[in-house]
Structure 1
Amino acid sequence: MLYADRISLPFSEASRSLEIIRAEEIAKFPARDVAGILQYATGVDIRQRGPHGVQSDIGIRGGGFEQTLILINGLKMTDPQTGHHIMNLPISPENIERIEIIKGPAARIYGQNAFAGVVNIITKTPDELKGSVNVSAGQNQLLGLGVEMTLPGKKNNQYLSLNRNVSEGYRYNTDYDITNFMYQNQFALFGAETSLLAAYTEREFGANGFYSSPASRDQYEEIQTSIIGLQSKILSGSWIIKPKIYWRRNQDEYIFIRSNPSIYRNLHIGNNIGAELNTSYLSEFGITGIGVEIRREHLESSNLGENSRNLASAYLEQRLEYGDFTFTPGVSFQYYSDFGPKFFYGADASYNLSRNFMVYANAGTTYRVPSYTDRFYVDPVNEGNPDLKPETALTYEIGIKKLGRTGNIQVAAFKRIGSDMIDWTRDTIMSPKWTPINLNRVPVNGFEAIISSNLGYITGVPVLGYQRLTYTYIDAKVEDNDAFESRYLLENLKHQFAYLGSFNAKYFYVNVTYRYYDRVNLDDYQLLDLRIDKKFNKFKVFLDVNNVLDADYKETNLVPMPGRWAVIGANFRIY
């Protein structure tokens, strides 16, 4: 089942483009963080300024970093300051049960920021007693240490994880120190399945060229992000009721000259406090989803000032089934205290040609309100625009899914017509400052395909693993734009191709990933990554080599990414 708050459906029955990355697949990736895992997903664009989860932005299907919603067990990681912070995730790869990626408009389901898609990270809830230690070491003085413990019981299942990774960096002032902590407890409360999640990440890193310009080599940043949430699932006759409350806090300290903070320093502290009540009702007419949400967003900032706003929303959707045909219309109402009310409409439809073969289509409206950085940020080279309007878009998608025991095929074509899209622009003749404006019309057309197969036998040798090929094409443009220079809007991937192969080489496993990227504003590049691992009775050893071909590349127009980087490690089960 998808971990949906509204109408929960099996993956095979969802009438939209979905991708699920499971724990067994994550274990094959040579990745040390969530951003590294998502780099292998179809249509997902990760733009890193530093390796191993230091600082990264995410986009889906040509969307920007403000247009993707990140969830942890359904808890929203939105940030009122800027979308640059939504990937400050207090989660390590070892904590993840699966990652669900919903592509296309999801504002009617999840609200603002679900403009181009949603990523929902589901953490592990082990039910067996287990303790393990992870250690790793590698080039650039990389060291990693992690501890996991599970404490199952008759009345609750507890999970605790602590991870720390440090490195001196691959060039001047790119050192980092990242600590992730997570605690989860599943228990029964008044007869309801209840889950408590508390997680925290602390990141300290040199930010050589991350912002401003490549010449700004001495920048430094410290980030602390925490999330705590309590949610339940109540079964009552034909009703499923899911209440939840949560609090997310993000603190960001930016220093322009690391050795002399007095020259220029920003400190931002953002808090989101929210509550949701999501329900579904099964009747002879199908499944009805009803829910409400309230949230308060507050920011205290040395640059942006003190700002607060309130959100209230409600939704209604109905899934109808007529034999092999399904139709799910829905409507959502959202009210932001600083932008007023807004309605969103959409519908999903599908038809099963056979038991495992579906054709589907969906359409919907979506939006994104400006962040406080968009509206109020000021420094020597940037000036916000308090008069910005929310972004809106209408999106269409058609696709097919063919799922089977030996492999899967998914193909989709999509179109998004954006209005009042926000981008930071400048005219170097009239003004040297970057300023955000609303652009009239930004159409995005695209196509994606996923083909995966489970491997059986090669020349008589059993092969445990699989192969997967993915491809995404995106054509985006800005109409009626007189701006001289654009910072963010047209930096999407035009072509994105990836191959993942997992092979059993008798005494060990070999996992190979190849990726090709053609970004519209940068040179194209190819990356080859490798993981080799060997399992023993109570421990596993591995070797990761990222960027085997030592390619020179950038994922943004500012920061050169690392060359070849090798890491060795082991996981020991202590009980």
Structure 2
Amino acid sequence: MLPLIVLASQAAIAATPAPPNNQIIILRETPAPITVTASRNMIRLAETGISISQITLPQIEALSLPLVKDYLTLIPGVAVAQTGPLGAQTQIRIRGAEANHSISFIDGIEMNDPASSGEFRIDTLLSHGIERIEVLRGPQSALWGSQAIGGVISLATRAPVRGSMLYGELQGGSLGTVRGGAGGGWADDSISISGQLSGLSTDGYDSARVGGDKDGYDNVTAHGRIEWKAVSELTLLLVGRHQDSTSRFDGFNFVTGVPRDEPLETQSRQTALRAEAALALLDGQWTTRASFMGVRADNINRRANAFQNRSDGERDLFRLQSTGRVQAGNLTHSLTGALDIETERFISSDANAQAASNQRQRRRQTSLVGEYRLSTSNGFAAGAALRHDMNDRFADATTVRFDAVAPIGDVRLHAAFGTGIADPTFFDQFGFFPGSFQGNPNLVPERSRGVEAGIGWAAGGHSFDVTLFDANLTNEIIGTFNSNTFIAGVANATGRSTRRGVEVAGRAELAKGLTLNTSYTYLDANQQQVAGSAFVREVRRPRHSGSIALNYSSRQFDLSAAAAITGARGDTDFARFVPVTLPAYTLLTLAGAWHISPRIDLTVRVENALDASQVDVFAYRGPGFTAHGGIRFRL
């Protein structure tokens, strides 16, 4: 049996090259693990100097957590803030960046919500059917465009390599929670077909106080993928996805500064499509891809089942990319050129037909991308990327990225530098509900610069890695408030924000089947809204965070214990508009699987086993101790 969950940096699989900095070890991979986000093309993990973490299927199944955001708490440099119960708004901050400063992909489709604040609705993402979670840290706009300031989150769904597969699970437990799903696929030399259907329903609890109304959550997600090698040179790909979820939540009393029971709910629907044709010539040394990706998102807000308002967004992306590779002796050169044309549309509607927030907006961006990569037979690799964005609503922007990695025996040196941008969201530019919030059409994109450097060691199943990082942010989009008109808005800050820190991770094989993994992040994140004024600590970013995982695997059963440690963070009491401190906490997950047959497991999971008081957003309490059990099969 495979070990359960591994949280390692610079770790190595026996007899394989050491993976790059700060990554979760891959247990079920080929001898050359790959990354799909560190370059515009798939490359080996050992060929990038950028900090990457990966969680693969064995780890996902080991903990059997319901949402992808639960796994992100175990990744260095990632802070997760959940506003109360399951399905409530959840924000992801990478290395101290803002919640809308990262891009999320599912099977290559950019899933950030164009109908909201530009963030990916990570609270809607079920873990069933996900095979790999990859997190790239640091500015990546030169590759992937706007919002990739903190980094990139990429997810891949399960698909067969050859033959057929069928899998499923069913779990139930505390808070009236039931989750389940089924998936399968079939593949041969020319075609691969896969799909999943998953669902989750929970009665929830009251995040405002004990004994109040329960805030439940329901989610149904369907995903399908077909890849067909029409001829030896031409491959066609089609991916489709749809999710529909409803989250019930409390209102907020701005007089008392605490949530209050209200019959509020948000229905979130998102449909995505990717169609691609790839032509490989000259024995695969020259590849050209043409693709179309479309995302439609709706967020509908109701009170006591009565419509209040909604926002609808669309994103269409056409991409043309060509890559040529040349081998000269022990050197491999790769050169990529790409054209991205992105069109976004936004509609907001209020129950009041005269509301100022009723609007329709549209914008377009055309981008040119170039990337060069070099790799050598002795393990040295480097890359450079350049991107120029041409916008019809605000200023054009140019971003760059450089990275390099050099092995010296069992030691690896790695470094990267990049710049990033975050375009204003539709909410920022044009306003949103209520009408007392006004957008600012004169905003300019936020800009960031980041650098990192680290050293790692790996030998005999043990590893250790240290990475230092430093980043700043200018033109940050901040909230404003006019006390005379009681109108809220946004503006570009004249000051700058700084984010620096260190990520440390290690792995040790204690005995056969028994593995210990640890990680720690120190983050110093500060904001300066007005040039020349004092810096203040950024809210909801812990100065200290980390994780510890102890895993045992045998032929009869698997056991896993994973602790996600979150240090004290600052926040704001919006009733008094004063800073508050959120206390530190540790979430301990205990999970196990009894293999009653080679294809059937009985599973059990305990979340927050220490019954810690979890508050990620001021006045909203998290769930306490919960227990769940179920069955899992694979054919």
**TM-score between the two structures when normalised by the length of structure 1:** 0.91
Q: Residue in 1 aligned with 2:249?
A: 207
Give 2:144's aligned amino acid: Y
* Cα separation, 1, equivalents of 2:125 and 2:400: 33
Q: CA separation in 2, counterparts of 1:270 and 1:485?
A: 38
Q: Deviations over 1:27-86 (max 9, x none)?
A: 122411111121211111221225445532211100111101001122211333334651
Give the Cα separation in 2 of the matches to 1:488 and 1:209: 27
Cα separation, 2, equivalents of 1:125 and 1:487: 47
Residue 92 (structure 2) aligns with: 58
- Return the letter of the residue paired with 2:601: K
CA distance in 2, matches of 1:298, 1:374: 14
Q: Pick from 226, 229, 241: which aligns with 1:188? A: 229
CA distance in 2, matches of 1:366, 1:181: 33
Q: 1:231 aligns with which of 273, 276, 284?
A: 276
Aligned residue in 2 for 1:557: 618
Describe the superposition over 1:266-301 as per-residue Cα deviations: whole angstroms up to 9, x where unpaired.
211111111112332212472112211111111111
* Contact 1:64 1:488 (C-alpha < 8 Å) held by counterparts: no
Corresponding position of 1:504: 553
Aligned counterpart, 1:2:
35
Change (3 A) 1:331 1:155: closer
Instruction: Note if 1:534 corresponds to 2:576.
Output: no
Task: Please name the residue that 2:399 is paired with.
Answer: 344
Q: Aligned residue pairs: how many? A: 562
Distance 1:480 1:58, change over 3 A: closer
> For the Cα contact (< 8 Å) 1:89–1:201, is it kept in 2?
no
What are the equivalent positions in structure 2 for 1:462-501 lying under 5 Å apart? 462-463=512-513, 465-479=514-528, 481=530, 489-501=538-550
Give the structure 2 partner of residue 301 of structure 1.
Answer: 348
8 Å CA contact 1:541, 1:571 repeated in 2: yes
Task: Please report the RMSD computed on the Cα atoms of aligned residues, expressed in angstroms.
Answer: 2.8
Matched, 1:279 2:333: no
After superposition, give the CA deviation of every residue in 1:143-194 in whole Å (9 maximum; x if it has no partner). 1231212233564221121111111112224111111111111211344233
Of 158, 166, 171, the match for 2:201: 166
* Partner SS, residue 200 of structure 1: strand
For structure 2, which runs of at least 5 residues remain unmatched after alignment?
1-33, 207-212, 350-356, 571-581
> In the alignment, residue 607 of structure 2 is paired with which amino acid?
N
My pick for the range that moved more, 193-202 or 229-238, is 229-238
Give the partner amino acid of 2:526: K
What code does the residue aligned with 2:79 have?
A: D
Listed as ranges, the matches of 1:383-422 within 5 Å are 383-404=438-459, 406-422=461-477
C-alpha separation in 2, matches of 1:534 and 1:487: 50
Cα 1:433–1:8 change in 2 (3 A) is: same
Q: Which amino acid aligns with 1:526?
A: T
Q: Distance in 2 between matches of 1:54 and 1:480?
A: 29
8 Å contact 2:366–2:391 — kept in the other structure? yes
Contact 1:444 1:477 (8 Å CA) reproduced: yes
The structure 2 residue matched to 1:258, chosen from 304, 317, 322, is 304
- In the other structure, the counterpart of 2:338 is 291
Please report how far the alpha carbon of residue 110 of structure 1 lies from its aligned counterpart in structure 2 after TM superposition: 0.6
| Partners of 1:65 and 1:211 in 2: CA distance | 24
The structure 1 residue matched to 2:187, chosen from 152, 159, 163, is 152
Aligned equivalents of 1:378 and 1:55: distance in 2? 17
DSSP 3-state at the match of 1:370: coil
Match of 1:65, SS? coil
Counterpart of 1:266, as a letter, is N
- Deviation of the 1:431 alpha carbon: 6.8
- Aligned 8 A contact 1:423 1:489 in 2: no
Q: Distance in 2 between matches of 1:320 and 1:149?
A: 38
Q: Unaligned 5+ residue runs, structure 1?
A: none
Instruction: Output the CA distance in 2 between the equivalents of 1:267 and 1:485.
Output: 39
Contact 2:48–2:381 (8 Å) recurs in 1: no
Conservation of the 8 A alpha-carbon contact between 1:148 and 1:159: yes
Equivalent-residue separation in structure 2 for 1:27 and 1:123 (angstroms): 13
Cα offset for 1:507? 4.3
Aligned with 1:137: secondary structure? strand
State the distance in 2 between where 1:155 and 1:327 align.
34
Q: Tell me: CA distance 1:203–1:266, structure 2 relative to 1, closer, same or farther (3 Å).
A: same
Q: Is the 8 A contact 2:182 2:198 kept in 1?
A: yes
Deviations 1:110-142 (Å, cap 9, x if unpaired)?
A: 111111100111112113323333211111111
- CA-CA distance at 1:558 after TM superposition: 4.5
Counterpart-to-counterpart distance in 1, 2:176 and 2:298: 27
State yes or no: 1:222 paired with 2:276.
no
The equivalent residue for 2:210 is none
Other structure's SS at 2:428 match: helix
